[in-house]
């Protein structure tokens, strides 16, 4: 399946987890080049690059923190030599773990500002920096460039690792709608909203026994009885970059094994 044949792809936060999976999936599906952004872990980014190269695509490493506008512009410069960007995956994100949402002292203004800087302002800055390359000529007639946001079920249901995190992902979903209107018809903008993803990111600071209990709880509580992997989510994200979604923009897709259904009203008895 080479539906991204010849694509120039850019993935922020691609050193590990979902970002790595998106970069590798893009390469597997025929991308010509993948810009692999990372904030700090060059060794992990090199591993992503190796996997991308193994699928026949050219990896280009680009270090930078998306919260910094200058860094965003430098990340985009890594793709200038290709003349265009066909798909920008705004995947970089961060959180503050404070799962007891009723503990309002567990988070503060600095947490909100940092999370919004990375999770909301960062994607906006990346789109702004990459706009001319996203609008550049060179792709097949009738095919718009694609921006794909990594949002979260937290932005739809208000659950998640903390109140600032859920709020930032809700803002990202709203921004997806705004940019889809503003940038059409030359750029499509959509978002994937994962639930639990079985990666180390979800277990930061937790003992292995707690991670196992969390994983088992996810499997038990989701309608599809599954703990999603990064690869599961990556396939949905790459769909938004592919020609199969060429008539889709301003959409948020929940990819959570049905977790959100637990927040719907119970059936009438």
Residues involved in catalysis: 165
User: Residue 89: phi, psi to the nearest 5?
Assistant: -100, 105
The encoded tokens of residue 85 equal 């960007």
Buried b (16+ CB within 10 A) or exposed e, 166-181: bbbbbbbbebbeebbe
The encoded tokens of residue 239 equal 């769909």
Q: Are 90 and 148 in contact (CB under 8 A)?
A: yes
Whose CA is closest to 129, among 93, 78, 196, 184?
Answer: 78
Region at 81 (left for phi over 0; alpha for psi -120 to 50; beta for the rest): alpha
CA 115 and chain centroid, separation = 15
Whose CA is closest to 16, among 93, 122, 118?
Answer: 93
């Amino acid at each position: 399946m080479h539906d991204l044949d010849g694509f120039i792809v850019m993935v922020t936060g691609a050193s590990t987890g979902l970002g790595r999976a998106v970069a590798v999936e893009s390469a597997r599906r025929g991308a010509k080049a993948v810009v692999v952004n990372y904030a700090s872990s060059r060794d992990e980014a090199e591993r992503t690059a190796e996997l991308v190269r193994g699928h026949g695509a050219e990896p280009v490493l680009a270090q930078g923190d998306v919260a910094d506008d200058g860094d965003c512009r430098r990340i985009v410069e890594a793709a200038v030599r290709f003349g265009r960007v066909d798909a920008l995956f705004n995947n970089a994100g961060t959180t503050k773990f404070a799962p007891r949402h009723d503990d309002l002292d567990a988070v503060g203004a600095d947490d909100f500002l940092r999370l919004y800087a990375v999770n909301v302002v960062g994607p906006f800055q990346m789109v702004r920096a990459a706009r001319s390359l996203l609008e550049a000529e060179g792709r097949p007639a009738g095919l718009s460039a694609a921006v794909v946001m990594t949002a979260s079920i937290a932005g739809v249901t208000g659950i998640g690792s903390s109140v600032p995190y859920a709020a930032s992902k809700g803002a990202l979903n709203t921004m997806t709608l705004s940019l889809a209107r503003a940038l059409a018809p030359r750029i499509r903008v959509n978002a994937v909203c994962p639930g639990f993803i079985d990666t180390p990111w979800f277990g930061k600071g937790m003992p292995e026994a707690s991670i196992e209990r969390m994983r088992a709880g996810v499997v038990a509580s989701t309608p599809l009885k599954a703990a999603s992997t990064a690869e599961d989510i990556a396939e949905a994200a790459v769909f938004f970059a592919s020609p199969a979604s060429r008539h889709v923009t301003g959409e948020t897709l929940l990819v959570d094994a049905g977790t959100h259904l637990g927040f719907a009203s119970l059936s009438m008895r």
